[in-house]
Chain A
């Protein structure tokens, strides 16, 4: 299942993703109504965090009203009609990726497959990718750091 991945090396903390997300989902501009949130730590860390579309979502298990479900496409979604706004999912999520917005749980729904935050991320820190691809890129980075012996002679 793909999720919105944030490259720590690239995120600049511009919070465009927050404004874009609140716009797409709420038709207003308000970072506190965003499903993706940027955290800054001084002196030099910026990171955007959102739902990781867990394989075994703690939020889904915690929900007492069965409002959090996985869609056929694999996206973990909130059924606002069933949501009672109890915040148990907020407590259960290890990443702080769920907020209560106007009495209902709100989380990343991947914008139906083409997340606006990803599209409008200037430094290209955000990408919609599969965990397998993240791993493949890590392997590649390690492989590139290894210098073949034959070249060292």
Chain B
């Protein structure tokens, strides 16, 4: 008998796939997961915390690889095209999470499932085919070694249908490059934390989904009304115009010009925030010479995707979606490379071989600094590797994907590469908790220093980046936090109230990452907030409790605390919530933030206090966890000695 799930928006079913035994089981979704963790990365957090205990190594068969959607995914409420992948990261050894857009997430729900939880290791390469509520493992021996584009083509051919949605790895994932990603819909990446390497370790080449199932919502008319209202907000008025003129027109590359202006464009291994040749990799040139088509993820109103084409020069014929801002920084300014076509070629290679462009670029820039400082020689590298050499950058990207020569060391990520190379190179290995730092600089935008330091996955922006101070949205700040704090919060170079600010933003993103919707609309423009989600969540799911903003906020805090607990159990605490010395000790040499370093301590203290965590150790208070209903987690952490007590015995 078909069991009907209590809440709408969800399919109410998920898959457990055991690759070791070749078994697939369909299970009903648990109601309390929806009620307490919403969906997406929140739901996945509950599963990962329960099952992936500290002795489970990231690349062992026991580690889980979870594909997750949320209740909004695949509905009409924009944007609804996203999914996430959650695992214990092989790059950082801690909480691993990566999100991606495109069409794969919604299709998984149309095919009948909210989540796919994968464990084990197949003897031979396989792929998981989920077709109209039927799932099976198929041989991927003919796919192994293929690029993500070839893999997608071949699976489409096998299905006889170009509308099947494929998420797959390239050779980087197969060869366990620690920052390998998963590529879906040919050019969308679940990029960060090496989720592709976990997939490779399981010998799972791809997940292909196709479905024609309905997604029902609890209150259709209300959902429709809110979707129309959201459409208006995304496309009209002040935010709509700003978004159209920036993200629709240029995509994320539009940011290159602005970040350079505020001195926050990571350049030359994060040594500075100003790039002399920013115009060469900037939005005007991008539009004038390279954009051939504008694209979007499923049901989006921002539509930031661009197809770019290099028409002449050594990289002529390079045709791909992207590159995104983060890619242009990582493989461009941060390597001092102003050769835009070379960046596009490297972006295409990263997509074809399945590598995170942020970590890959961070690794290339680390190697360049090693060469310039005489720590890696031309012999060791197989070529000279000067700052700004786009051709060498492209060559090195290939070497990393294939683990060829020095690429084998660099494929471990900068933290481990620096450990192996030695000679003081850890000083310019720019990472937090083992994750290469994304395209921001806390010296020019203090709160982003805190964002990077506390991010649960390591040096990343998407768990807690604030644009409120980045662009000084004074009115929004005043509305959310009070007029009296608005001036300080709006000041990028001030640390005042930034602990509170980043805690609030991190909570907001915990909801966004669980619904799942996009950071565009919340991160920028900051048009959607908790009250919006307290309207759409009950309309879609029928979970009445979520009509109270405090309940949505409580779910957010619960999710943030659960992920934090996963890391705490692995031994992480305040000592790990820090930044590379480059941000803390080397003053910004140029631009509007000249002379600044990140003043992390006051922000971190305030952040812990706001969170209800122990300021001294960064560990969670037992009372904080219990107050959020995480009693079992508090008990578990106590067993590991990883919880703080307010009153010491």
Complex: A82 Cα to B322 Cα, angstroms: 50
The listed residue (A29, A42, A120) touching B215 by CB distance below 8 A is: A29
Q: Does B294 sit within 8 A of A, measured CB to CB?
A: yes
Q: Does B228 sit within 8 A of A, measured CB to CB?
A: yes
Query: Are A122's CB and B217's CB within 8 A?
Result: no
A92-131 interface mask toward B, CB cutoff 8 Å, 1 = contact, 0 = none? Answer: 0000000000000000000000000000101100000000
Chain A residue with the shortest CB-CB distance to B107: A31
Query: Are B215's CB and A30's CB within 8 A?
Result: yes
The listed residue (B76, B305, B319) touching A29 by CB distance below 8 A is: B76
Q: Does B96 sit within 8 A of A, measured CB to CB?
A: no
The listed residue (B76, B103, B106, B309) touching A20 by CB distance below 8 A is: B76
Choose among A14, A32, A45 the residue with the greatest number of B CB atoms under 10 Å from its CB. A14
B55-95 interface mask toward A, CB cutoff 8 Å, 1 = contact, 0 = none? Answer: 00000000000000000001110101000000000000000
Chain B residue with the shortest CB-CB distance to A37: B163
Q: Does B234 sit within 8 A of A, measured CB to CB?
A: yes
Given contacts A16-B78, A20-B76, A46-B295, contact A122 B212 (CB under 8 A): no
Quote the shortest CB–CB distance from A126 to chain B (angstroms).
14
Chain B residue with the shortest CB-CB distance to A120: B231
The listed residue (A10, A15, A40) touching B299 by CB distance below 8 A is: A15
Query: Are B248's CB and A123's CB within 8 A?
Result: yes
Quote the shortest CB–CB distance from A56 to chain B (angstroms).
31
Chain A residue with the shortest CB-CB distance to B307: A44
- For B234, what are the chain A residues with a Cβ–Cβ distance below 8 Å? 122
Of residues 410 to 454 in B, which have CB atoms within 8 Å of A's CB atoms?
none
Query: Are B295's CB and A13's CB within 8 A?
Result: yes
Q: Does B591 sit within 8 A of A, measured CB to CB?
A: no
> Number of A residues contacting the other chain (C-beta, 8 Å)?
26
Choose among B76, B217, B220, B292 the residue with the greatest number of A CB atoms under 10 Å from its CB. B76
Complex: A42 Cα to B103 Cα, angstroms: 15
Quote the shortest CB–CB distance from B352 to chain A (angstroms).
13
- For B110, what are the chain A residues with a Cβ–Cβ distance below 8 Å? 30-32
Query: Are A12's CB and B295's CB within 8 A?
Result: yes
Query: Are B214's CB and A26's CB within 8 A?
Result: yes
A14-40 interface mask toward B, CB cutoff 8 Å, 1 = contact, 0 = none? Answer: 111001100100111111110000001
Query: Are B75's CB and A12's CB within 8 A?
Result: no
Complex: A19 Cα to B214 Cα, angstroms: 11
Q: Does A43 sit within 8 A of B, measured CB to CB?
A: yes
Of residues 104 to 147 in B, which have CB atoms within 8 Å of A's CB atoms?
106, 110
Given contacts A13-B295, A28-B215, contact A19 B75 (CB under 8 A): yes
Given contacts A15-B298, A19-B75, A120-B228, contact A28 B235 (CB under 8 A): no
Q: Does B281 sit within 8 A of A, measured CB to CB?
A: no
Query: Are B186's CB and A32's CB within 8 A?
Result: no
Chain A residue with the shortest CB-CB distance to B152: A42
- For B299, what are the chain A residues with a Cβ–Cβ distance below 8 Å? 14-16, 19
Query: Are A29's CB and B78's CB within 8 A?
Result: no
Query: Are A14's CB and B297's CB within 8 A?
Result: yes
Complex: A30 Cα to B78 Cα, angstroms: 15
- For A23, what are the chain B residues with a Cβ–Cβ distance below 8 Å? 76, 220, 224
A33-74 interface mask toward B, CB cutoff 8 Å, 1 = contact, 0 = none? Answer: 100000010111110000000000000000000000000000
- For B587, what are the chain A residues with a Cβ–Cβ distance below 8 Å? none
Q: Does B296 sit within 8 A of A, measured CB to CB?
A: yes
The listed residue (A31, A33, A45, A122) touching B303 by CB distance below 8 A is: A122
- For B307, what are the chain A residues with a Cβ–Cβ distance below 8 Å? 43-44
Chain A residue with the shortest CB-CB distance to B302: A122
A-B contact pairs, 8 of them (CB 8 A): A15-B298, A16-B78, A28-B214, A28-B216, A29-B214, A29-B216, A122-B235, A123-B303
Given contacts A10-B294, A43-B293, A43-B307, 17 further A-B contacts (CB under 8 A): A12-B296, A14-B298, A15-B103, A19-B74, A19-B75, A20-B76, A23-B224, A27-B220, A29-B75, A29-B216, A30-B212, A33-B212, A33-B214, A43-B319, A122-B231, A122-B296, A123-B248
Q: Nearest 5 A-B pairs (CB), nearest first?
A: A14-B296, A28-B214, A44-B293, A32-B212, A12-B296
